[in-house]
Amino acid sequence: MRIMLDAGHGYTTPGKRTPDGMSEYEFNRAVAQYTKGLLEDYQHVLVYFCHEDERDVPLQERTDKANRLKVDGYVSIHANAYGTGWNNAGGIETYIYKTRPKEAAELAHEIQHRMTSRTGLRDRGVKTADFHVLRETSMTAVLVECGFMTNQKEAGLLRADAFRRMCAEAIATAISYTYKLKKSAPSPADQQLFKVQAGAFKDKSKAEEVAARLKKAGYEAMVLQIKH
């Protein structure tokens, strides 16, 4: 399956930062990066980004790319804000389009549930909105707000690498659950391999003779030349 991760905004987007100066994009892009890494541990998954570090990619360009590539799912990653100064608004919320498409609602509930249970932040629920990225995408699309930049405690979390990884794990697990993804086989380095040697010969033909006898007896035999 193909999934597009959308880290909202750009480094230089006006506003869109904590009262003490962290840009929302810095958080969004880190979570997108970690989520991509986690999703690539599953079989048959291709992950695309529609954001770029060099500029704030316009919303139309982001959704056009998703539609052109015909991805199966679109997940937009954001951090929330209430006003511009510090206040107590807080928690996590996930958005789907106002017509409540069933597949998007399922994915959104999985993300919302995993995000709140992992982080322990307030559950503000799955909500509907007429956001561009939800309206103009022709596939399952959700937008997750991972905490408030204007909440001093949550802003601290949004800066923390451990919290960013936690969000990525929640999002990747929700996607893998919703799309029934299977983990890839472990790499050869992770697999244990035990070999049995049946003989060591100076003469290659003698080795081949033993290998032939073993094969006849039903074993998988191989002659290896080992240099000392």
Footprint of Zn ion on residues 5-24 (CB under 5 A)?
8
Which residue has the closest beta carbon to Zn ion? 78
- Nearer to Zn ion by Cβ, of 149 and 172: the residue is 149
- Nearer to Zn ion by Cβ, of 8 and 73: the residue is 8
Segment interacting with Zn ion, rule: CB under 5 A, options 31-39, 77-85, 196-204, 218-226: 77-85
What minimum distance in Å lies between the beta carbon of 41 and Zn ion? 27
What minimum distance in Å lies between the beta carbon of 76 and Zn ion? 8
- Nearer to Zn ion by Cβ, of 8 and 101: the residue is 8
What minimum distance in Å lies between the beta carbon of 46 and Zn ion? 25
What minimum distance in Å lies between the beta carbon of 185 and Zn ion? 37
Tell which residue, 184, 149, 179, 182, has the closest CA to residue 74: 179
Segment interacting with Zn ion, rule: CB under 5 A, options 1-9, 32-40, 92-100, 102-110: 1-9
What minimum distance in Å lies between the beta carbon of 149 and Zn ion? 9
What minimum distance in Å lies between the beta carbon of 187 and Zn ion? 36
Residue 147 makes contact with Zn ion by CB under 5 A? no
How many residues touch Zn ion under the rule CB under 5 A: the total is: 2
Residue 78 makes contact with Zn ion by CB under 5 A? yes
What 3-state class would DSSP assign to 66? helix
Instruction: Give the pair of three-digit tokens for residue 159.
Output: 């800066």
Q: Which residues bind Zn ion (CB under 5 A)?
A: 8, 78
